[in-house]
Structure 1
Amino acid sequence: METTTIISIIVALGLGFIAGLFISKILQNKKGSTIIKTAKRTAANRVKAAHKEAESIKKDKILQAKERFIELKAEHEKVVLAREKKIVDVEKRIREKESQLASELDKNRRLNKEIISKQKDYDYKLEFLEKKQVEVDKVHKRQIEQLEVISGISAEDAKADLVKSLKDEAKSDAMSYVQDILEEAKLTAEQEARKIILNTIQRVGVEQSIENCVSVFNLESDDVKGRIIGREGRNIRAIEAATGVEIIVDDTPEAIILSCFDPVRREVARLSMHNLVTDGRIHPARIEEVVKKTEKQIQQEIVEVGKRTVIDLGIHGLHPELIKTVGRMKFRSSYGQNLLQHSREVANLCALMATELGLNPKIAKRAGLLHDIGKVPDTETELPHALLGMQWAEKYGEKQDVCNAIGAHHDEIEMKSLYAPIVQVCDAISGARPGARRQVLDSYIQRLKDLEDLAFGFSGVQKAYAIQAGRELRVLVESTKVSDDKAAELSFGISQKIQNDMTYPGQVKVTVIRETRAVNVAK
């Protein structure tokens, strides 16, 4: 502010100086004394006014500076007082903390003294107990030595005998407990399971027909046989080449036998023969034409059969390729059982059993119909039919429950839903019934022999017979080597061995027979 006052004074002096120059210039030019005098008076007045204004500004600035100084001094004093108050508070807290630490230090010192005292007592007691333990061990050792002298056996032998006795007793008790549990489970679970299965089977009754590898084509008269054979057998050779079916013309009156393991090719040959005989024109060119036309008809029939099947079963939304696969099952057989009839029966059984168990019958029926689609592949594959069918079902958008039931019905994969065991059980019901399927004689005899050999692998077995078409195994044991308790254990062990090591349809009942004979001779 003083700087502003000085500047104002300088400006006033400058103005006066400029006015003086102006006046002197006027005097030099001699333009009139009146103007000069007036200018001088004006300049003097302005200088006086400037001095007065400068003094007034100076006084104001000095007053403002004093007031500002007083304000700054008051603020500084407030800050100093606040800092002094904080210092006093900090010193007070420090004194309190020092007092608290001192009391805790005294307390810790007392606790340390008590701990040291207790540690000394503990060491003394521990030393005393160790001495007593040594004395007890010596007394125990002397007692064991005395017992060994009295009994005549060592402690290790006595311990081994005791362990063996306890082990045999525990094993016998465990077998008894297992048998009780199994019997109790059979009285409840097996009764209910049989009820469900029997109700399901009773509600589905179908006729069983065994598929053969031959078909009989009936003729109106034996004269037609010569036309079918043709000159030097050219017609019959053309039919066999076009269809891949062996044609047997023998002395059977009014009949020709068509032999082929493939039912589709056998059906093509049968329909072709029917068309040729009806038309009357039988020669190689006509034969090839009729066979090609018949093959197209068979493919259309496959699709129609698939559609009729899914409509009859009430299955909706099935992919067209799966429908075609279902139709092809009509011309396939499994162990002599028609595959389509088997799949339809399994589908109905699954639906009924799922209803009994409170599950969705539509999903069960779908899985039952599709469970064997892997048996009708377009090309040969080494993949098991259950896994192949599961891949097809996944490819054509079937649900996970259906796919898992298809893949797991022969235990190739883990069962992840309740529909999988239902399909497995219904498949066994349909296929394992007497007359439903037939096995090759050699494999059947070998399976019975394997059952008997498995029983001879157990100790004490004297004789073993597989009866009831391999569904029961009767085992005769030596009474001197196998007790009554051991007989039950042996029956359980043989059944588990069969379950783990052999593949068989249905169930195998194991019966162990123990006979005691007392023989004397009267002379």
Structure 2
Amino acid sequence: MNPYLILISVIALVLGGVMGFFIKNYLVAREIDKKQNSANQLLNEAERKSTEVVKESQNRAIKIVEAAEKDALGRRTEITRFEERLQSRSDQLDRRAEKIEDREHAISQRQSALDKRANKVEEMVEEVTAELEKVSQMTQAEAKALLLEEVEQEARNDMARIVREIEAEAQEQGERKARKLIADAIQRVASDHVEEVTSSTVPLPSDDMKGRIIGRNGRNIRAFEIAAGVDVIVDDTPESITISCFDSVRREVAKNAMQKLVLDGRIHPAHIETLIEKERENIEKVIVEAGEQAAYDAGVPGLHADILKMLGRLKFRTSYGQNQLAHSVESAQLASVLASEMGADVEIAKAGALLHDLGKAMDHNVEGTHAQLGAEFAARHGVGEKIVNTIAAHHHEVEQTSVEAIIVEAADA
């Protein structure tokens, strides 16, 4: 075997061992450094977390202390308020005690005054007794004169009191009589005549339109009369026709529908029925609005919806050329003034005057006078008894039970 190879192998082994030793030491040292760094990081992290925990604990402690101080402050404030209330009650008790003492003192003073008066009465009794003893020593004429003087003075006092009472009673009776005289005077100027319009005229663009309104064999005019519940009068009056009906609302519906038919030009039974129904709905809305507005203008709130609707129907009635609804509102306003001047109930007078012609808005097929029908209708819908009487009695069909009924009659004049 070659000695050089052996030497080289030995040297290589030695060098490899030495290099392996150094490499191992390097790796070990590197591992130690890594672990040392990791340990340092863990230590730093632990220190950081411990610092945060300490800070958080300190913050919590501070918050707990602040909350405790706040709670303590609140309790001290509550205790202070409680002490103030106690002090206030104590002061009130002291004041009450002082008032009680003052009352006791006043009672004591009154008792003293009563005692003094009692003593004085006793003295007066003694004086009167002495006076009587003196009188008993007078002559009969002297005693009689003294007694007559005292009786005369007492009689004068009684007469003065009676005169004052008579004057007060006479003044009161005079006021009552004056009110009655005014009411009687108002009664004498009241009127009970009514003029009623039962027909309306519809102008036509030409007389040729009459034939179209009548229709073949009268079918158009019959359809119109049946649908509207009115009579249509076609006569020799130029360029116009007449609609007749006792019911003012039906007459108004028919009048408006006829005017629209004339303008529209489509005159046949189906269109007539449709147009009349639409116009009936329009008039119903107008009636409700008119009733509500009339009650507002008259200052009579709280009326039943059916009463307002019936009241609104008066918008389409006239009497002596005056619109019946406007007349009712004016009557209510006049009744309000009269009632105020006469010291009567203004609300009853206003309501009675507004509703006094309510029966005129009802169907003419219903039997009874308008005063009777209106009163019965109002009573059925919650109107008060006194107001109902003003409606029923404004034409003397029943007895007037109040001065307000007389005022309503006068306002209707």
TM-score (structure 1 length as normaliser): 0.40
Larger RCO, structure (CA 8 Å, separation 6 or more): 2
Say which structure is richer in helix. 2
TM-score, length of structure 2 as denominator length: 0.49
